[in-house]
């Protein structure tokens, strides 16, 4: 399986066949590593084993559906719902708490400090998985952007986990963050390896297999590590991209098959189109850029969002929760 | 994705494009059903949840690898080893006993009644998974044979489970067989649905995706249900086929890409070739047959093997174990 690089159309590089869906390799290596990890990280009577295996089943199911999508080109409205199937093992096996802590400024209005959402919490989990998976998938289209954003967010998750383990004395919280590290670390490692080949100019494409796999893994660690709010702030550029895409996704504005910027073969620069994606809006605001420089800009923006999240947590700690 | 029906080459039916790899549909439906089943079958604190989720992860991983194989045509020597990767979640999460009961006539020679194999038991589990998966995969090539044999064996497994639940008073054994039913029942249901389309003349092919998925599921229930010896007798035709194939698999005799019987477009009958498969040997012994009649004969043989297994268990009970 192969594809052509649309952002290089009109240059000799645009004629090169690029292998597609290499995300399957990343996914399979990740699974094997993550499976073997549990031998070292858990004892046989650990209560975390159910959730770890459910997480593996969810991620594996997501990789399977992503690869099917790559091979068979599933219609995109169906595609949006695939993560909700993949998240089923997690929802079914999830036996953790279903409570949320009401932010302190709101306690007097709600009248409760802790609210048990019950099954609605599981719905929230499913929606989070659908969002993370699809938001990575639609913030794409530049060489290295899919993997780059994953690497940046995964690094932020790892830093957050280590900080929380250091700061917390509650063993349950420490275990939850350790659990997150066990899954994020192989994601980081396999992604970095693939980034070497996917960076501009891409020798391989990763396909939907990779984006849905990465999104699902991060959603899973966010859910089971109980830091989904923090995760959503790490996902700030993806949230922005999703909001910008809403008019086209909802069908109010016409949505073409690809919503890539316009490539000028003479100068090698990209120009933003009217399509509502962060890539295009960024180009419209900050002017024309080469593909590589645009990708670096967007990754720096991603890193700034993560830094903003850490600052926010620092200043709100104590006041907010 | 599509293929041509080799056993109808030279007739108008041989020119029809037949959709390939429909096993992916069976596999995904099976996973969704099996995942939702655990909501009804287990309480949240059940000790079986870890193994159930590990089983789901293994089966899902196997479907993924099978589908990758269908799409990318993995070399068959690599293919043989794929199940050993897929069985990893199961091996890692398996916390059950690793002992085998020594058959009574051998107790005096071994000097033990129960032998703890430790890690060797896990190796046995992995080898069983590799065998079941590949043996279903190579006993194939006729319309309906792949699914037909699965349906026959799955029926035998279900009968065996129900009989054991009825006969046993030990709650652990009853739970193990109930566990097997939870996974075999959806396998049976999804396979029967697909058989309607895969029966002669096939409107769809199931591909390696299906054969490895079915083999893995049966291996998993055999392992976790603790009736792997019984399972191997259900697999008698597959064992025979494997033994007949050994010279070619080992490379002693030249092995062509397909080892199908020779089709005569004029009479519509199949003639056995010299390739060492049960299909060919059966044709050589019992004469030329149409594809449909040959498939029925082989399925009846499979059913006889299962009946033989029940008889054997009946007569050996008490004396052997």
pLDDT, tens digit (0-9, with 9 covering 90-100), for B189-234: 999 999 999 998 888 899 899 999 999 999 999 999 989 889 999 9
pLDDT at B86: 94
Lowest mean pLDDT among A124-133, A184-193, B260-269, B284-293: B260-269
pLDDT at A296: 96
Contact B35 A89 (CB under 8 A): yes
pTM of the model: 0.91
Burial of B95 (0-12, 13-18, 19+ CB in 10 A): middle
**């919490």: which residue's tokens?**
A121
pLDDT of residue B96 exceeding 80? no
Contacts of B27 in chain A (CB under 8 A): 64
First-to-last CA distance in chain A?
A: 50
Give me the sign of the Cα torsion angle A281, A287, A293, A298. negative
Contact A36 B93 (CB under 8 A): no
- Label residue B253 by pLDDT band (50, 70, 90): confident
Best mutation target among B55, B60, B212 (most A Cβ atoms within 10 Å) is: B60
Contacts of A1 in chain B (CB under 8 A): 71-72
pLDDT of residue B97 exceeding 80? no
* Residue A270 bridge partners (DSSP): A263, A289
How many angstroms separate the CA of residue B85 from the nearest CA in chain A? 7
pLDDT of residue B18 exceeding 90? no
Contact A89 B56 (CB under 8 A): yes
Contacts of A28 in chain B (CB under 8 A): 64-65, 68, 85
Higher pLDDT, B104 or B54: B54
A35: nearest CB among B44, B53, B92: B92
pLDDT at B29: 95
pLDDT at B260: 86
pLDDT of residue B3 exceeding 90? no
Lowest mean pLDDT among B13-17, B160-164, B177-181: B13-17
- Please give the backbone phi and psi of residue A103, each rounded to the nearest 5 degrees, phi first: -55, 140
How many angstroms separate the CA of residue A245 from the nearest CA in chain B? 30
pLDDT, mean of residues B3-27: 81
Contact A31 B61 (CB under 8 A): yes
Please write the tens of the pLDDT for every residue from A85-97.
999 999 888 877 7
Q: What 3-state DSSP class applies to A42? A: coil
Residue B205: closest CA among B154, B145, B138, B120: B145
* Residue B2 bridge partners (DSSP): B19
Contact A44 B95 (CB under 8 A): yes
- Label residue B109 by pLDDT band (50, 70, 90): confident
pLDDT, mean of residues B294-306: 96
- If you average pLDDT over every residue of chain A, what do you get? 89
* Ranges in chain A, pLDDT < 50: none
Instruction: Say how many CB pairs under 8 Å bridge A and B.
Output: 87
Listing from the earlier edge strand, what are the strands of the sheet with A289-290?
Answer: A262-264, A269-271, A289-290
Identify the top-confidence range among A268-282, B109-123, B298-312. B298-312
Local structure of residue A8 (DSSP, 8 states): G
User: Nearest-5° angle of CA A181, CA A182, CA A183?
Assistant: 90
A92: nearest CB among B36, B61, B63: B36
CA A62 to chain centre: 13
How many angstroms separate the CA of residue A133 from the nearest CA in chain B? 19
Find out whether A168 and A246 touch, Cβ atoms under 8 Å.
no
A32: nearest CB among B36, B60, B88: B88
How many angstroms separate the CA of residue A206 from the nearest CA in chain B? 15
Contacts of A39 in chain B (CB under 8 A): 92
pLDDT at A272: 87
pLDDT of residue B6 exceeding 80? no
pLDDT of residue B321 exceeding 90? no
pLDDT at B40: 87
Contacts of B64 in chain A (CB under 8 A): 27-28, 60, 63-64, 67
pLDDT at A153: 97
**ipTM for the whole complex:** 0.89
pLDDT of residue B172 exceeding 80? yes
- Name the strand (E) or helix (H) holding A271: strand A269-271
- Label residue B136 by pLDDT band (50, 70, 90): very high
Cis upstream peptide for A201 (omega within 30°)? yes
Contact B36 A64 (CB under 8 A): no
A56: nearest CB among B44, B85, B89: B89
Local structure of residue A37 (DSSP, 8 states): H
pLDDT at A92: 86
A93: nearest CB among B24, B53, B61: B53
pLDDT of residue B250 exceeding 90? no
A64: nearest CB among B50, B64, B89: B64
């Amino acid at each position: 399986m192969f594809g052509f690089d649309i952002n290089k159309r009109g240059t000799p590089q645009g004629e090169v066949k690029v292998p597609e869906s290499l995300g399957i390799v990343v996914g399979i290596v990740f699974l094997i590593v993550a499976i073997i990890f549990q031998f070292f990280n858990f004892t046989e009577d650990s209560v975390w084993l159910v959730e770890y295996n459910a997480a593996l089943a969810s991620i594996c199911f997501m990789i399977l559906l992503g690869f099917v999508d790559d091979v068979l080109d599933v219609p995109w409205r169906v595609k949006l719902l695939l993560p909700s199937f993949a998240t089923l093992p997690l929802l079914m096996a999830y036996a953790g708490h279903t409570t949320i802590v009401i932010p302190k400024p709101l306690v007097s209005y709600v009248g409760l400090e802790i609210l048990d959402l019950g099954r609605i919490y599981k719905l929230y989990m499913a929606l989070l998985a659908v969002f993370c998976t699809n938001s990575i998938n639609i913030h794409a289209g530049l060489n290295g952007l899919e993997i780059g954003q994953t690497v940046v967010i995964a690094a932020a998750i790892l830093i957050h986990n280590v900080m929380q383990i250091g700061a917390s004395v509650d063993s349950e919280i420490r275990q939850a963050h350790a659990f997150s590290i066990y899954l994020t670390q192989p994601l980081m490692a396999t992604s970095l390896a693939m980034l070497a080949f996917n960076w501009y100019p891409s020798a391989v494409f990763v396909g939907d297999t990779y984006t849905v796999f990465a999104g699902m893994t991060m959603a899973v660690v966010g859910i089971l590590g109980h830091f989904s709010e923090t995760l959503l702030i790490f996902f700030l550029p993806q949230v922005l991209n999703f909001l910008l895409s809403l008019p086209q996704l909802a069908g109010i504005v016409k949505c073409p098959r690809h919503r890539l910027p316009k490539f000028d073969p003479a100068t090698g620069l990209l120009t933003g189109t009217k399509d509502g994606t962060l890539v295009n809006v960024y180009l419209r605001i900050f002017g024309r850029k080469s593909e590589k420089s645009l990708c670096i800009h967007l990754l720096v923006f991603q890193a700034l969002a993560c830094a903003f999240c850490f600052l926010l947590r620092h200043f709100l700690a104590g006041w907010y929760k």
